[in-house]
Amino acid sequence: MSAINPIGSGSQTGSGSNPGISGLTQNDFLQLLVSQMQNQDPLNPTTSDQFLQEMASFTEVTDLAQLQQLTQSLISNEVASQGLQLLGRTVTGTDPTTGQSVSGTVSGLTMQNGQPILTVGTSQLPVSSVVSVQ
């Protein structure tokens, strides 16, 4: 049976990322840790410092993933808030489907793929297409 390398000691992809680690849960990590301890080389055992370092690294990756999700949520909320502020205001923009200039009062707001879409008359205008607000 071959020895199990500590997490993080293997080679990484060219981009420096490990796509498989993002799906690991804390329980998966603990199972890997126990497996590593059971199958380590008795002549060259892994030290407790190495285990603590691996656990700290895993916790850091988990925390960063949660921070990324929170940041995405905050950005989505901010973008939606920007769209809400335009309700009842007169805007001018370019309709992305026709390329025509659209001007009128914003009467509605929908979210599509995390982006606010304004209803201006009969047109659907992304907030990013607005060029002026009155």
Cα–chain center distance at 92: 32
Q: What CA–CA distance (Å, rounded) separates 107 from 48?
A: 63
Which residues, other chains included, contact 130 with Cβ-Cβ below 8 Å and sequence gap of 6+? 86, 91, 92, 93, 118
- In this structure, the dihedral spanned by the alpha carbons of residues 47, 51, 54 and 55, taken in order and rounded to 10 degrees, is -160
CATH architecture observed for domain 85-133: Roll (2.30)
In the chain, what are the domain boundaries? 22-80, 85-133
Tens place of pLDDT for every residue, the chain, 134 residues?
A: 445 545 444 443 433 444 455 566 778 777 877 887 788 877 877 777 777 787 788 788 888 889 999 998 888 888 888 888 889 999 999 888 888 899 999 999 888 887 889 999 888 889 888 888 88
Question: What is the tens place of the pLDDT at every residue in 22-47?
Answer: 566 778 777 877 887 788 877 877 77
Tokens of 39: 């199958």
Model confidence, pTM: 0.49
